[in-house]
Structure 1
């Protein structure tokens, strides 16, 4: 057990060191960022999306209102973010969906499916008590990879 703990600590220290080292000097990671607008993103302290190498990490895009409207707005927003990098939903490899009403998401899954055109990513759907934006029904984050 003690060896496992020491190994875990060593791995964490290496990861922390590499993370700090990778952000400084000649080894800085090149990040290409996308913002919908400075107000919300800068105020909360995040970027809507960050591209590192060929991988695009897209922050949660939120939808409010009834489920059909919320999902349509979310996936249209995600489509806009992907397009900024020359990507489509066919580049998406991972999707995380958070909602305050999972049954409504399941009922309107056809809206989501049309964006993927039967090329679905690995996905996780989770019902939670509330989202950062208090009135939001759904929030979806993606990871996409460019060829």
Structure 2
């Protein structure tokens, strides 16, 4: 008889726990159904997908860039990526041979044209990578960048390389810019 009483108590306890768990789950389920705005919001956030923006390409020197096989810039959404700019004229001839400071000025002039085409400025530049065949000369004239970046300097890398596209080129700069809405 004592074993039966213990068994009944265990069954009663098991039944009580099952009842409480069932009631708790139903209660939670009920609360979710009672707040349809939250359910609707979650559904919208889950099903909402952003459509990627179509890339918009820009050629600074169209014939030259077609010959070499690249686009000088591409804008996707609020992000702008600019290929390396070098000191050259519209026919692809080197400008300011042997003059690091003047080549740097020419490079920044081209970069500014591209930025302005899209309504950006150097204040929007977030990455700047400099490739130079002579790091010591570049560092000597790098303070010129103070006149370009008036608010803050972007992130970036300075690399000394063996050569650039044309003999006599001393510097090439590529960059990325971002404009917040």
TM bracket (short chain): 0.7 to 0.9
**Conservation of the 8 A alpha-carbon contact between 1:48 and 1:58:** yes
Q: Does 1:52 align with 2:49?
A: no
**Conservation of the 8 A alpha-carbon contact between 2:134 and 2:160:** yes
1:108 — aligned with what? Answer: 141
Residue pairs, 1:1-147, within 5 angstroms: 30-63=54-87, 64=95, 65=97, 66-147=99-180
Greater Cα radius of gyration, structure 1 or 2: 2
Using the alignment, how far apart are the partners of 2:76 and 2:114 within structure 1?
Answer: 15
Q: Which has the higher contact order (CA 8 A, sep 6+)?
A: 1
**Conservation of the 8 A alpha-carbon contact between 1:93 and 1:121:** yes
Shift of 1:144: 0.2
Using the alignment, how far apart are the partners of 2:159 and 2:68 within structure 1?
Answer: 22
Shift of 1:28: 7.3
The size of the alignment, in residue pairs, is 121
The two structures have a TM-score, normalised by structure 1, of 0.77
Please say which of residues 64-73 and 135-144 is displaced more in the overlay.
Answer: 64-73
Query: Secondary structure of the residue that 1:108 maps to in structure 2?
Result: helix
Using the alignment, how far apart are the partners of 2:166 and 2:123 within structure 1?
Answer: 28
Q: Please report the RMSD computed on the Cα atoms of aligned residues, expressed in angstroms.
A: 1.4
Query: Secondary structure of the residue that 1:39 maps to in structure 2?
Result: helix
Q: Which runs of 5+ in 2 are unaligned?
A: 1-50, 88-94
Richer in strand (by share): 1
Q: Which runs of 5+ in 1 are unaligned?
A: 1-26
Query: Secondary structure of the residue that 2:170 maps to in structure 1?
Result: strand
